[in-house]
Amino acid sequence: MDIFCKIINGEIPSKTIYEDDKVLVILDVNPRGNGHSLIIPKKHYKDLYDIDNETLIHIFSVAKKIGDMLEDKLHCNGITLEQNNGICQEVKHFHLHVIPRYKYDDIIDVDEVYNILKH
């Protein structure tokens, strides 16, 4: 069982900022920007070639919501969406990175970002 399956099953704690019946959105523990989030389908899919189109469309719909939240609450100046497959995929469970971009990259603590997003 991979780390994302364990997070989804509640075996490993996470900083969840959004959840619905299909996905969990958590803050990345090694962020590349304040609010760097991971959209993880609750059903295990290995990669882009394993996931069904309906779930993929839902994930990108959630990415728009998360992008809006990051702009509203953290005042980012844009977002980057990133998804890796094959040898560049560290965790073999499909996930989409939502990485906020700022004119000035002053990284703050993940706990502080979580508190901003949850209020």
Catalytic residue among 44, 95, 97, 119: 95
Location of structure tokens 């989409």: 96
39-57: b (≥16 Cβ within 10 Å) or e = bbbeebbeeeeebeeebbe
Say if CB 111 and CB 87 are below 8 A apart.
no
What the block records as the tokens of 74 is 């953290």
Task: Let me know if 36 is a catalytic residue.
Answer: no
User: How far are the Cα atoms of 25, 33, 41, 75 from residue 63, in angstroms, in the given order?
Assistant: 9, 16, 12, 16
As annotated, the active-site residues are: 95
